[in-house]
Structure 1
Amino acid sequence: MNQSLEAARLDKLASFRILDTPAERDFDALTALAQRLLDCPIALLSLVDGRRQWFKSAQGMGHVRETPREQAFCAHTIYEDDLLLVEDALRDVRFGDNPLVRGDPRIRFYAGVPLRPHSDGFADDLPGLGSLCVIDTRPRRLSEDQLAILRDLAALANSLLRAHVSAEEARDLAELAEERANILDGQHRLLRQAEKLAGIGSWRLSLDERRMEWSEQVYAIHGLPVGAMPTLDEALDFFAPAEAVRIQDRLARAARLGEPFDFEAEITTADGRHRRVRSVGEIEFRHERPAAIVGVFQDVTERHLREEELRHSASTDSLSGLPNRASFEHRFAESLAAAEGNAEPIALLLIDLDGFKAVNDSFGHAAGDEVLKEMAAHMRVGCMANAFPARLGGDEFALLVTRPRDCADLENYVQKVLDRLQVMVRQDGEVRRVSATVGAVLTDGAILTPVELMRRADLALYQAKRHQRGSGRIFGVDAPIFRANVSAN
């Protein structure tokens, strides 16, 4: 026996994955047909491995499913080119002493055709995997027609073996597909959970059909039940009209230029809530041409609110609730630049509180804090409602006035501020009055820096304090300004 050929034969046999498999109706029908057509009591489809012959199908063998290889007639058949024919086993030197001849099933006649089904990766001329054979307990001969029938049935057996391995491979593929489907379904469940946890959904817009596809979380963000997919126009209706136009432009640029985008905007959900969302998109290519725009959609409302709170906290005086010095300086610089570009006036008022220290000393800092809060409240209403107030520190405030009519009559405006900024504090039968002194400056068309304007307003404030606390002074104007209910004396 050529060991390398035998090893290759056994590998080929293993590749069919048929040894020790259950009975199959097609194989049993084949051996039953051989039994009837050739009028033999026994018909077998046997497969020969390294130590035995195993019957995939057997007619007339009772419950016997295998025999030792060294006793098997088929172990000889697998090396034949065409078939092995033994008309009288007792007279054949190869089989006369075989236990299967001398004992049950008392074989006297044997005819078998080797089975060599094609298998990719293996030579077709390897020794057979087994045989299709018929057996009789008496000597006999087969006609040429009967031998042709046996060969035809063996060819059919080869086809059944190939069909078996194809079915096994199909089952493997089905199992693999099911396994992958289960994995994919599990991944999708995890993705949906992750999307829900992060407030992120995915979307796709096909460029040919202009059809939207949303994940479950995108529906949730819009306040919609999962169901019919909205059109692009319906999706854009959740945004303000101007924002919808900008989004259409982004989509067009992405489709035309392959330009990705990343933006945040406000939407009004189907149930009337206002949400801040972030949308990120990029082109999906198919066959080297743009096929769709894909991206993610995230509810960033909470993050946006936290950022706004942080910005507000960083720019707001915690006690008064007014903008702080840093915020005021930023706003002052922006407003001054805009005013110079538009040739519009700006007025700056610096405000010190009079009597504030006496309240702190007499009634305590808690009372002083209440004075600051009340003064801040006054700066948000009345004549100051259209100005930008800020607390610079301690009892120092600033007021940025940009409304043209207030700037045009700045003296009257300062008098209204003096009238408004008054607080009476009563405690334990004592009364303290807190008022304001104001220094103001008006831009006169000259290009001035914020520092210079602050310097001029501060100088005006100093002059007002020297003249009389509770009064006001405009830089460059000699006449002081008093509250309406206070005389110049």
Structure 2
Amino acid sequence: MSDISTFYPTDEERRLSALHALDLLDSEPEKAFDALVGLAAQRFDCPVSLITLVDRDRQWIKAKVGIECTQTGRDVAFCDYAIRGDDAFVVTDAANDPRFADNPLVAGQVGIRFYAGAPIRVSDAYGTHAIGALCIVDTKPRTLCAAQIAALMHMASIAEALIAARGTALEAVSIAESAQRQSRVLRRQERVFGQAERLAKIGSWRLELASQTLDWSDGMYRIHELDRGARPDLTAALDFYPPRDRAIASDALARTIETGEAFDIELDFVTARGRRRRMRASGELEIEQGRPAAVAGVFQDISDSYHVERKLRRSASTDEVTQIANRAEFNRVLKAALRDARGGSPLVLLLIDLDDFKATNDTFGHLAGDDVLRAVGQRLNAPFLKDSFAARLGGDEFALLLTDPELVADAPAVIAQLLEQLGAPVELSEVLLPVSGTIGSASPGPSVDTFRELMHAADMALYAAKRARRGTAQPFASPTAMAV
């Protein structure tokens, strides 16, 4: 490959300075970044997803899924191209791209064929700098639509927010810890600390063990939406948490006092104005003259990032049309249910095909077809199917997992009731759209123990039901059982 130094951005030194100031290079793995690349891999169904940082002569990997290496030379890094533009950098087939065909990551054992990376930027006094990229990689050629490229850019924006929050939080925590040890430093830096608290949505606290006196910084009052004059005691402070989280907080505090072990937990709590928020709380023991004197720590309101992460996870596991689980989530849940079944938990798998669904699309249009799919999704969540797990596998194929002991024990009656509900027409404006489903069912057994075997058994039962008469159901009968 050619010498990439001729292509370095004109502000390369400032870019490197901004990168090194973050103290991210060669840092330990962090849950938020690992979660983001995991979600990116799920969202785009790619085997490899990375968050990279492009140093002077190397590319270092901050978070990764599907790959073991931690760094590469910058001269072979695809992400070095991604940081040079404002938009996502996409290579649909690297083997046929003259820029990358001879790249050892393409021609060698790794065998990269597809790459898409969105630049991650940070700002300092000199401007905005691209320090790395959030990217997805595959060993086969692929393309991305405009919506997928936009989603990748949005995920890179989340990475930028995580980096910014990380830097601000580290700075704020450092200030808070220093302030707790040195009251004179606290007075000199009080204004800076308050600004950092507001920016990072954090607050510091200290519990004096002898007197049980609780001291809060301004940030704590702001987070709890309390007037500065209110001075809650420990019991009143814990009352902000729902019962389950209150017990978690109390146990963590007691364990720190007893063992000296610091805690770092996430909790739900409700502000004085009744708003539900998500909080990260950390605390550590202060020792004076060999005895526990206080517990001090930091709170951070992480509601925004928490909800973004949950939304991303839901998006990655939910079918867009029906708003029930998608195929990937179904695979995960069925594998877990099979593990439970090996320990004796009940399980019946239902595979459901809608009958003549193509005719509905052809006659009434795809929007009407989507209405039918949504109606089926709702029927698979009917109250009589309590605690059952419904998923759309694709097209007109659905699945339902029965795990409730009563439902499993009475599976034939449950399936009959479900067939009746599936056969009810779907009302669209003044038109009744016909709909019905055919069901094949199977349960784990001596010859049906794995994911593949259970799916195959239910599929065989479904095929038998279709062959007999559409709109009916058949349970799987093993060859052994039929022979008997």
With structure 2 as the length reference, what TM-score do the two structures score? Answer: 0.57
**Segment of structure 1 superposing worse, 230-239 or 429-438:** 429-438
Change in CA separation of 1:408 and 1:217 when aligned onto 2, cut-off 3 Å: same
**Segment of structure 1 superposing worse, 253-262 or 417-426:** 417-426
Q: Assess if the C-alpha contact under 8 Å between 1:284 and 1:291 holds in 2.
A: yes
| Aligned equivalents of 1:474, 1:181: Cα separation in 2 | 74
The residue that corresponds to 1:250 in the other structure is 252
Q: What is the CA-CA distance between 1:208 and the residue it aligns to? A: 2.6
| Aligned equivalents of 1:244, 1:449: Cα separation in 2 | 41
The residue that corresponds to 2:191 in the other structure is 189
Letter of the 1:196 counterpart: R
Matches within 5 A, 1:68-79: none
Change in CA separation of 1:296 and 1:428 when aligned onto 2, cut-off 3 Å: closer
The residue that corresponds to 1:328 in the other structure is 330
Q: Secondary structure at the match of 2:457?
A: helix
Matches within 5 A, 1:76-95: none
The residue that corresponds to 1:434 in the other structure is 435
Matches within 5 A, 1:193-204: 193-204=195-206
Change in CA separation of 1:447 and 1:279 when aligned onto 2, cut-off 3 Å: farther
The residue that corresponds to 2:363 in the other structure is 362
Change in CA separation of 1:339 and 1:319 when aligned onto 2, cut-off 3 Å: same
The residue that corresponds to 2:276 in the other structure is 274
The residue that corresponds to 1:220 in the other structure is 222
The residue that corresponds to 1:420 in the other structure is 421
| Aligned equivalents of 1:346, 1:285: Cα separation in 2 | 54
The residue that corresponds to 2:387 in the other structure is 386
Change in CA separation of 1:357 and 1:309 when aligned onto 2, cut-off 3 Å: same
Q: What is the CA-CA distance between 1:450 and the residue it aligns to? A: 2.1
Q: What is the CA-CA distance between 1:435 and the residue it aligns to? A: 0.9
Change in CA separation of 1:281 and 1:362 when aligned onto 2, cut-off 3 Å: same
Q: What is the CA-CA distance between 1:230 and the residue it aligns to? A: 1.8
Q: Secondary structure at the match of 1:213?
A: strand
Letter of the 1:454 counterpart: M
Q: Assess if the C-alpha contact under 8 Å between 1:355 and 1:432 holds in 2.
A: no
Q: What is the CA-CA distance between 1:234 and the residue it aligns to? A: 1.8
Letter of the 1:246 counterpart: I
The residue that corresponds to 2:321 in the other structure is 319
Query: Could you list the per-position Cα deviations for residues 84-110 of structure 1 after superposition, in whole angstroms to 9, with x for gaps in the alignment?
Result: xxxxxxxxxxxxxxxxxxxxxxxxxxx
| Aligned equivalents of 2:254, 2:384: Cα separation in 1 | 48
Instruction: Please identify the structure whose Cα radius of gyration is greater.
Output: 1
Q: Assess if the C-alpha contact under 8 Å between 1:423 and 1:433 holds in 2.
A: yes
Q: Work out the percentage of aligned pairs sharing the same amino acid.
A: 44
Q: Assess if the C-alpha contact under 8 Å between 2:351 and 2:462 holds in 1.
A: yes
| Aligned equivalents of 1:304, 1:265: Cα separation in 2 | 11
| RMSD across aligned positions (CA) | 2.8
Q: Assess if the C-alpha contact under 8 Å between 1:345 and 1:444 holds in 2.
A: no
Q: What is the CA-CA distance between 1:185 and the residue it aligns to? A: 5.3
The residue that corresponds to 2:444 in the other structure is 443
Change in CA separation of 1:210 and 1:184 when aligned onto 2, cut-off 3 Å: closer
Q: Secondary structure at the match of 1:337?
A: helix
Q: Assess if the C-alpha contact under 8 Å between 2:341 and 2:444 holds in 1.
A: no
Q: What is the CA-CA distance between 1:186 and the residue it aligns to? A: 6.7
Q: Secondary structure at the match of 1:295?
A: strand
Letter of the 2:206 counterpart: R
Query: Could you list the per-position Cα deviations for residues 141-180 of structure 1 after superposition, in whole angstroms to 9, with x for gaps in the alignment?
Result: xxxxxxxxxxxxxxxxxxxxxxxxxxxxxxxxxxxxxxx9
**Segment of structure 1 superposing worse, 264-273 or 456-465:** 264-273
Q: What is the CA-CA distance between 1:269 and the residue it aligns to? A: 2.2
Change in CA separation of 1:184 and 1:458 when aligned onto 2, cut-off 3 Å: same
**Segment of structure 1 superposing worse, 201-210 or 241-250:** 241-250
Letter of the 2:415 counterpart: V
Q: Assess if the C-alpha contact under 8 Å between 2:268 and 2:277 holds in 1.
A: yes
Asked if 1:209 is matched to 2:207, the reply is no
Q: What is the CA-CA distance between 1:400 and the residue it aligns to? A: 0.4
The residue that corresponds to 2:461 in the other structure is 460
Letter of the 2:250 counterpart: Q
Q: Assess if the C-alpha contact under 8 Å between 2:368 and 2:428 holds in 1.
A: no
Change in CA separation of 1:394 and 1:418 when aligned onto 2, cut-off 3 Å: same
The residue that corresponds to 1:230 in the other structure is 232
Query: Could you list the per-position Cα deviations for residues 412-434 of structure 1 after superposition, in whole angstroms to 9, with x for gaps in the alignment?
Result: 11111111113536889987522
Q: Secondary structure at the match of 1:224?
A: coil
| Aligned equivalents of 2:224, 2:389: Cα separation in 1 | 37
Change in CA separation of 1:285 and 1:358 when aligned onto 2, cut-off 3 Å: same
**Structure 1: gaps (5+ residues):** 1-179, 479-489
The residue that corresponds to 2:116 in the other structure is none
| Aligned equivalents of 1:445, 1:371: Cα separation in 2 | 37
Q: What is the CA-CA distance between 1:260 and the residue it aligns to? A: 1.0
Query: Could you list the per-position Cα deviations for residues 293-312 of structure 1 after superposition, in whole angstroms to 9, with x for gaps in the alignment?
Result: 21111112222211111111
Q: What is the CA-CA distance between 1:287 and the residue it aligns to? A: 4.8
| Aligned equivalents of 1:472, 1:248: Cα separation in 2 | 53
Q: Assess if the C-alpha contact under 8 Å between 1:348 and 1:457 holds in 2.
A: yes
Q: Assess if the C-alpha contact under 8 Å between 2:375 and 2:426 holds in 1.
A: no
Q: Assess if the C-alpha contact under 8 Å between 1:348 and 1:398 holds in 2.
A: yes
Asked if 1:376 is matched to 2:388, the reply is no
Number of aligned residue pairs: give it.
Answer: 298
Q: Secondary structure at the match of 1:330?
A: helix
Letter of the 1:348 counterpart: L
Query: Could you list the per-position Cα deviations for residues 304-337 of structure 1 after superposition, in whole angstroms to 9, with x for gaps in the alignment?
Result: 2111111111110111101011111111122222
Change in CA separation of 1:434 and 1:477 when aligned onto 2, cut-off 3 Å: farther
Q: Secondary structure at the match of 1:284?
A: strand
Q: Secondary structure at the match of 2:241?
A: coil
**Segment of structure 1 superposing worse, 250-259 or 354-363:** 250-259
| Aligned equivalents of 1:392, 1:381: Cα separation in 2 | 19
Change in CA separation of 1:183 and 1:259 when aligned onto 2, cut-off 3 Å: closer
Letter of the 1:364 counterpart: G
Change in CA separation of 1:477 and 1:414 when aligned onto 2, cut-off 3 Å: farther
**Structure 2: gaps (5+ residues):** 1-181, 480-484
Query: Could you list the per-position Cα deviations for residues 261-320 of structure 1 after superposition, in whole angstroms to 9, with x for gaps in the alignment?
Result: 100111122222222111011223445654322111111222221111111111101111
The residue that corresponds to 1:397 in the other structure is 398
Q: Secondary structure at the match of 1:335?
A: helix
Match among 241, 248, 273 for residue 239 of structure 1: 241
With structure 1 as the length reference, what TM-score do the two structures score? Answer: 0.56
Q: Assess if the C-alpha contact under 8 Å between 1:407 and 1:442 holds in 2.
A: no
The residue that corresponds to 1:475 in the other structure is 476
The residue that corresponds to 2:342 in the other structure is 340
